[in-house]
Structure 1
Amino acid sequence: MSTQPAQELPHPRVGVAAIVRNEKGEVILGKRMGSHGSGSWALPGGHLEFGETYFACAERETLEETGLEVRALKLVTVTDDVFEDLGKHYITIFVLCERKDTTKEPEVLEPEKCESWHWINWDELRSWGEHQQDTEGDYADKKLFLPMIHLIQQCPDI
């Protein structure tokens, strides 16, 4: 625990991430830009708004970021993510979702926040997680957003 007075401590925030799979079992992953975790890979998602359910947040954020309409199906896990170097603390809720139209592909609708969207096999994603310390070679450009690392640790099989 910190010794700072309570009024000076940053408050934890709630993030929601959507695990959207295609018919091959791959998940949508995007490269973050312009925010904490810039340059790392993450699922569609964002901040939970006041009065919003985490299912509604997963559906809204996926639509806003990718143009995909999804249906939230179930809570997968919750991670506790402290970005100590930035003084940020998030509780991230991961929600499994399905596409309403399986023929529609993700689009970059917020280019200031996401460089690109890709379908990634879960086994491949897990291998990215195992190589987060690699600074050269095949995994140098495959850094995962901290909540993603925690997701993989908690749920090795999705």
Structure 2
Amino acid sequence: MTRVAILAAALLGLSACGLQPMYAGGGSGAVARGLGAVEVPAIEGQAGWLVRNALVDRLDAAGGGAARYRLDVRLDDRLEGLGVLSDDTVGRERRTLRARYQLVELASGEILLDATAGSDAGIDVVSSEYATIAAEQTALENLSREVASQIVTRLALTLRSRS
């Protein structure tokens, strides 16, 4: 009998925790409709192209609709050498991708969100120049997906709070 009372109290506590599903209502929910209404203009550079494609993939998956918002993104992509070896060559690099973005409501021009996102990756510099360039490119592709994912999550939180 005591176990039942403890279980009932725990369930009651969980129901009052305030957690709500982000995508309540599935594709027809407020967040999914809001994400589907975000347009992403072209972003400068190769990293911009990769980030924009990742954003469009995630936002279009939420369901298309007439554009109500615009997402302006500026990127900072850096590749710096670390770990100098005894022969004065670089043995390790770090690629950093940072984004500053703003969600603008098209009807009013109001900035609903002004935030940043970013990620970095370490790259081993090896004797094969081709392998190093391939590793740098792979790092950029992975960082682009990670930054886009961070942006979409923050957009979803902002749109959820507005609905």
TM range (shorter): under 0.3
Task: Tell me the TM-score normalised to structure 2 length.
Answer: 0.22
Bigger helix share: 2
The structure with more radius of gyration: 2
Bigger relative contact order, structure 1 or 2, given CA contacts below 8 A and separation 6+?
Answer: 1
